[in-house]
Amino acid sequence: MTKLNLAPWVIGAALISAAILGVQTAQAHHAFAAEFDGKSPVLLRGKVTKVEWINPHAWVHLKAAGPDGQVRDWMVEGGTPNTLLRSGIDRNTLKPGTEIIVRGYQSKDKACAPICKANGRDVAFPDGRKVFMGSSGTGAPKDGADPNDK
């Protein structure tokens, strides 16, 4: 009777599973340059309509005028919920109806189909407080400065 050694099979299956999960996680998180244009700074003034406190990035929804002056619905990508909390942004500071000013970069989809998107660098509140939104990544402008400023 032969004895089957299962240890190599179990280890192999675990390694393959870990590799598959790692690829899926890497695909879910994108580089800044994959979706946003570092040469298209945007300044959005408007009211928060909702906030999605989800990983890997929180999304702030607001109704604001874009670069063309037209008022539209915008989704602004921020950092992780934990990063925002450590910066002082929470469910009480970003309630629907709160007036904010977001400085960031527009998505490469300038047609805003189906919705306008931006990557937020910082957010300013009515009391004058300005907070880094914690969103950046590979391909993002290093200091968040407007590349058109000389």
3-state per-residue secondary structure call for 103-145: EEEEECCCCCCCCEEEEEEEEECCCCCEEECCCCCCCCCCCCC
Q: 74 lies in a domain?
A: yes
Count up the domains in the chain and report the number.
Answer: 1
Q: What is the largest CA-CA distance in the chain?
A: 80
The whole-chain average pLDDT of the chain stands at 80
State the pLDDT confidence band at 135, using cuts at 50, 70 and 90: low
Q: Is residue 102, in this structure, part of any structural domain at all?
A: yes
Q: Which residues span the domain enclosing 87? A: 32-132
pLDDT at 24: 42
Distance CA(112)–CA(97), nearest Å, equals: 22
| pTM of the predicted protein model | 0.71
Residue 108 inside a domain? The answer is yes
Q: In angstroms, rounded to a whole number, what is the distance separating the alpha carbons of residues 131 and 140?
A: 18
What confidence score (pLDDT) does residue 107 get?
A: 94
Is 24 inside a domain boundary?
no
Model confidence at 123: pLDDT above 80: yes
Q: Check which CATH number belongs to the domain holding 88 and give it.
A: 2.40.50.140
Length in residues, the chain: 150
